[in-house]
Amino acid sequence: MLLPWELLILLSLKECLAENARHGPVFTQEPSDSIFPMSSGDKLVFINCKAKGNPPPHYRWKVDGRAIDSSSDQSYSLVEGNLLINNPHFINHGGVYQCIATNAFGTIVSREAKVQFAFLQNFSQKPRNTVTVREGQAVVLLCGPPPHYGEIKYSWVFNGNRNFLQQDARRFISQRTGNLYVAKVEALDAGNYTCVVRNMMTNATVFSSPTPVVVRGDVVMGEYEPKIEVQFPDTLYVSKGSSVKLECFALGKSLNPVYTVDTSLVLGNMPAHPRAKSRRTVEDLLLLTKMQWGCLQCMQFLSSHSSVFSSDVEHLQWIQILKDAHMAIDANLQWECKAIGKPKPKYRWLKNGQPLTTKERVHVEAGRLTISTIRLSDSGMYQCVAENEYGSLYASAELKVVASPPDFTQRPVKKSTVIHRGGEVVLECRPNASPRATISWWRGGELLRTGKRGMILEDGTLRIANISKADEGSYTCVARNHFGASSSTGALVVKEPTRIVVPPLSSDASVGQSLVLPCQVSSDSSLSPVFKWFFNGKAIDFSRQEHFEMIGGSRQGFAGDLMVRNIQLRHSGKYVCMVHTDVDTVSAAADLIVRGPPGAPQGLLVTAITDTTAQLSWSSGPDNHSPITMYVVQARTPFSIGWQTVKTVPDSVPGQMMHATVKDLSPWVEYEFRVVAINSVGVGEPSMPSKQIRTKAAAPKVAPVNVSGGGGARGELVITWEPVPEEQQSGEEFGYLVAFRPLGSSTWIKTVLASADVSRYVYRNDSVAPLSRFEATVGVYNSVGEGPFSRIIKVLSADEEPSAAPSRVWAHSISASEIEVYWEPVPPRSSTENIIGYEVLFWEGSSEQREADRVRVTDSTALLSGLKSSTVYLISVRAQNSAGLGPSSPSISVATKKPPPSQPPGAIEWNLTNSKIFLKWDHVKASQNESKVTGYKVVYRQSWHGRTTVLQTNKTSVELGVPYGEDHVIEITALTEGGHGTSSGPIHIPKMS
């Protein structure tokens, strides 16, 4: 087997040899039909032609069948194979051109190319006759274009205006003749009309002499029968896939005034709407392009005139072409070319550019050429020409006739062939020879003949079966023909066959296990066996498949065992050990069955749904070579955490049973189910979840829990409970039934709460004494019926608000923004009364109590903060229990202190010694409305994150003991009755170096 780089070198060599091989001419570029504008400024025209060949071809040209002699006609010259026309003339140089290429192997001719020149001559300047027409009559103004060639566009100019005359419902300009048609002449149409012709290729424009039009208004034209003035042909052939433009314009009473017929033109079962301007193409019929509205009137008024659009023209194209042939002498040649097109093409054959004449050995039948008993004189270039009235195609090929004696240079007999004992050998003998050589085989001096084990095939190949050691030796092939003889010799070497002595055995394993498939061989000692393993028909790539590893040793010859690690289900299948040597290939196969947990059950269905049960059925998934022992059913709801195993009937679903009844479900809950299969290997994949189903509704089965009560305002009985979860409500329209009665009474007071979320009921009755004893219970219901009630509990009615206000209320100001308040607690009226806290009200003396701020506390003291400095506040306190707030104590007044000084300590100086810092600063003087300074607070710490130390002093200096070699940060703040003054800010003292 060749490596990619070796193959690349061989392909490159093959291309190089093919390029350098001697061969006849082959066109790479042929002339094509062309139209050249005569207005070109360079006055040169190139007609392309190029061919490849070895030796390089030389070229000739023909025009209209006659040879072009560039030496005598100076207007023609050759540039390589291209024809150059100098100063072309549209009459002298228009025609059909053909390129002819010739080298030592023959001649080929190109396709015929029609070359024309676009031009436009001037109008005759002779004045045109006046056209007189009556008002209301139709008129046709003739253009009479000058000689021209190439696509022409016609326009008309009225009275010398710059803008061209526009077509409308009355006027039409034929692009086929250039004539101007006016369906109904009006007085304003009188004037001079000039025809303008423009060549679209040369861009040349010429103007005719004006045609005067006189409109007679003395007699107005009456109605007259319609007349088709511009019409399309009866039958028109067009190529499939191309487009055609039709013109049609009518004059007559239907156009006086202009009258539009509301009808449809149907061509090839395809309707065209009136005034349509569209391109429509069908497979068999081609519709017109940019159809003029007048065509519809033509169809309306010419009932006997209907045009046929046929797709009988298809461009020619090859479906079978010729290929070069290298033939031995006396052989038979058959060439065939095929083309398709409409009309059906005819064929003719050329040899070296000349029509091929039929002889005894040469037979032509349409596109098939047969030459029997080929001779050297038959060599040359052949061309098949397919043509019809619309075009032609040329296909060319070279015939080389070879005559030579046998030659083994390129394909000698294989020098050495190695075969195993008992095998079959094939020795090929394929010399190059023309005509074909006769073959004989010799072993030493003995001529070999066909026998029981040996056979010489028709192509000269020697085949020997059941090889033995005695067959070793040299074998010579001798080839002969009319031109000579040649021979080639090769050796046959016989080796002992390779046998697999320890083949792999079919096995089974469980997922996750590992096993070894053995493969050991005995072989000829001179051979080196190569082991290859295949899994399910594909070679194992040990570099990419981590589960496989080849291990080997030298037991009993050679070994190439296969280790399969961490076996997975996908490793089930057929394993083949293939051993290859230079002379033979042997193999042995084994099946591996992998047992694993079951696959997912399929087709889970849920039926027979009740309020607490559902019937499930399913089909088994793959058992992965281990029978399924049981199934487990799981479910989930919007209220569950993941999938949960549910109870079934039977309790344990055996592996042979594929249905079960799920029980103990909650009514009116949406469920999804899935099934998991289990076998001896393990738990399998779960099935796909079932469709979501809802169990049927039922009366509630769960009563509220944590029923309690108490508290509330005076005259209230408060009953509370924990709401029943949605998954236990069992149906729609869920609600609560609350029942209560005075302790000792036999009559229950009941109420209905139609809400699933309510958790509290308050019964109000002013006649209920504070802290009266009641019994209470809470039940449930839904749209199906009532459920159970909770256990009966005892609950007290609301307490009465405290009747007394706190006593001995007093307060003092502790700073400019804080006041501390104290009072005596209110004693309870009874053992059941419970004071739960106090509310402190405070407000500025200049405002009303309704604007008071409030602070609630649970003990008998409160700190009021965030107050204004130097301000008088009024303070009142009241007690609170579960029923509410009691009366307020008489208000007392307290004034906050003056604010601390706003000026920080200044002029701070410090001095650092080995272990001490000496600080001093200026005394802070308070203003009249500020608190006097009573001392200072010094805060110091190591760097920005060390331990903080606080020192207070009534002096303006301080001595601090500090650790050696540390940075320190110090702040100084003034102390006053009104609180701390403004800080000096951090003072950074670096460590001593």
The proportion of the chain whose per-residue pLDDT surpasses 90, expressed as a percent, equals 59
Separation between Cα atoms, residue 415 and residue 903, nearest integer Å? 117
Average pLDDT over residues 837-845: 93
User: Same domain, yes or no, for 540 and 576?
Assistant: yes
Separation between Cα atoms, residue 188 and residue 179, nearest integer Å? 20
Contact 880, 908 (CB under 8 A): no
Separation between Cα atoms, residue 309 and residue 341, nearest integer Å? 18
Separation between Cα atoms, residue 349 and residue 109, nearest integer Å? 11
Please confirm whether the linkage preceding 55 is cis (ω < 30° from 0): yes
Q: Is residue 669 one of the residues assigned to a domain?
A: yes
Average pLDDT over residues 17-24: 69
The pLDDT mean for the chain works out to: 86
Give the end of a domain, one of 595, 630, 646: 595
- Residues with Cβ within 8 Å of 143's Cβ and at least 6 positions away in sequence, in order, are 154, 177, 178, 179, 180, 195, 197, 208
User: Same domain, yes or no, for 381 and 408?
Assistant: no
Q: Which of the four pLDDT bands, split at 50, 70 and 90, describes residue 536?
A: very high
Q: Which tens digit of pLDDT belongs to each residue from 402-436?
A: 888 999 999 999 999 999 899 899 999 999 888 88
Give residue 10's pLDDT: 37
Give residue 986's pLDDT: 87
Q: Which tens digit of pLDDT belongs to each residue from 811-830?
A: 999 999 999 999 999 988 76
User: Same domain, yes or no, for 102 and 62?
Assistant: yes
State whether residue 617 is helix, strand or coil.
strand
Q: Is residue 870 one of the residues assigned to a domain?
A: yes
Give residue 713's pLDDT: 86
Q: Is residue 901 one of the residues assigned to a domain?
A: no
Give the end of a domain, one of 579, 595, 611: 595
Contacts for 260-263 with beta carbons within 8 Å, 24 or more apart?
Answer: 260/169, 260/293, 260/296, 260/297, 261/296, 261/297, 261/300, 263/296, 263/299, 263/300
Give residue 17's pLDDT: 43
Element housing 10 (H / E): helix 4-20
User: Same domain, yes or no, for 491 and 506?
Assistant: no
Q: Is residue 96 one of the residues assigned to a domain?
A: yes
Q: Is residue 257 one of the residues assigned to a domain?
A: no
User: Same domain, yes or no, for 577 and 519?
Assistant: yes
* Token output for 97: 């051109």
Give residue 943's pLDDT: 66
Q: Which of the four pLDDT bands, split at 50, 70 and 90, describes residue 337?
A: very high
Please confirm whether the linkage preceding 343 is cis (ω < 30° from 0): yes
- In DSSP terms, which residues pair with 407 in a beta bridge? 432
- In DSSP terms, which residues pair with 250 in a beta bridge? 228
Give residue 241's pLDDT: 61
| Residue whose C-alpha is closest to residue 598's, from 653, 636, 655 | 655
Give residue 41's pLDDT: 62
Q: Taking 70 as the threshold, does the pLDDT of residue 268 lie above it?
A: no
Separation between Cα atoms, residue 148 and residue 39, nearest integer Å? 13
Q: Which of the four pLDDT bands, split at 50, 70 and 90, describes residue 16?
A: very low
Q: What are phi and psi of 953, to 5 degrees?
A: -150, 155
Q: Taking 80 as the threshold, does the pLDDT of residue 255 lie above it?
A: no
Q: Is residue 258 one of the residues assigned to a domain?
A: no
Contact 320, 345 (CB under 8 A): no
Q: Which tens digit of pLDDT belongs to each residue from 166-211?
A: 988 889 999 999 999 998 899 899 999 999 999 988 889 999 999 9
- The residue ranking higher by pLDDT, 348 or 799, is 348
Q: Taking 60 as the threshold, does the pLDDT of residue 487 lie above it?
A: yes
Separation between Cα atoms, residue 951 and residue 973, nearest integer Å? 11
Q: Which of the four pLDDT bands, split at 50, 70 and 90, describes residue 33?
A: confident
Q: Which of the four pLDDT bands, split at 50, 70 and 90, describes residue 39?
A: low
Question: Could you count the other beta carbons within 10 Å of the beta carbon of residue 634?
Answer: 18
Amino acid letter at 601? Answer: P
Structural domain for 647, as ranges: 602-694
User: Same domain, yes or no, for 156 and 207?
Assistant: yes
Q: Which tens digit of pLDDT belongs to each residue from 942-991?
A: 765 667 888 999 998 898 877 766 778 889 999 998 888 888 888 888 87
Q: Is residue 439 one of the residues assigned to a domain?
A: yes
Q: Which of the four pLDDT bands, split at 50, 70 and 90, describes residue 351?
A: very high
| Residue whose C-alpha is closest to residue 144's, from 167, 119, 162, 125 | 125
Give residue 304's pLDDT: 38
Q: What are phi and psi of 558, to 5 degrees?
A: -120, 150
Q: Indicate whether this model's pTM tops 0.85.
A: no
- Residues with Cβ within 8 Å of 981's Cβ and at least 6 positions away in sequence, in order, are 900, 901, 902, 903, 904, 924, 933, 973, 974, 975
State whether residue 968 is helix, strand or coil.
strand
Contact 552, 531 (CB under 8 A): yes
Give residue 312's pLDDT: 59
User: Same domain, yes or no, for 916 and 979?
Assistant: yes
Q: Which CATH number fits the domain that encloses residue 342?
A: 2.60.40.10
- Residues with Cβ within 8 Å of 713's Cβ and at least 6 positions away in sequence, in order, are 798, 883, 884
Contacts for 546-552 with beta carbons within 8 Å, 24 or more apart?
Answer: 547/571, 551/516
Total domains in the chain come to 9
Give residue 568's pLDDT: 93
Give residue 235's pLDDT: 63
Tally DSSP H helices, then E strands, for the chain.
2, 92
In degrees to the nearest 10, what's the CA dihedral of 315, 316, 319, 324? -140
User: Same domain, yes or no, for 89 and 60?
Assistant: yes
Q: Which of the four pLDDT bands, split at 50, 70 and 90, describes residue 133?
A: very high
Amino acid letter at 890? Answer: P
Q: Which of the four pLDDT bands, split at 50, 70 and 90, describes residue 160?
A: confident
User: Same domain, yes or no, for 394 and 410?
Assistant: no
User: Same domain, yes or no, for 19 and 77?
Assistant: yes
Q: Is residue 749 one of the residues assigned to a domain?
A: yes
Separation between Cα atoms, residue 346 and residue 240, nearest integer Å? 20
Give the end of a domain, one of 214, 248, 281: 214
Give residue 676's pLDDT: 97
Q: Which of the four pLDDT bands, split at 50, 70 and 90, describes residue 293?
A: very low
Q: Taking 50 as the threshold, does the pLDDT of residue 272 lie above it?
A: no
Q: Which tens digit of pLDDT belongs to each residue from 685-729?
A: 999 999 999 999 999 999 999 999 988 888 899 999 999 999 999
- The residue ranking higher by pLDDT, 292 or 44, is 44
User: Same domain, yes or no, for 776 and 863?
Assistant: no
Question: Which of 173-182, 216-225, 281-290, 854-863 has the weakest average pLDDT?
Answer: 281-290
Q: Which tens digit of pLDDT belongs to each residue from 374-395?
A: 988 899 999 999 999 888 999 9
Q: Which of the four pLDDT bands, split at 50, 70 and 90, describes residue 841?
A: very high
Give residue 280's pLDDT: 33
User: Same domain, yes or no, for 624 and 657?
Assistant: yes
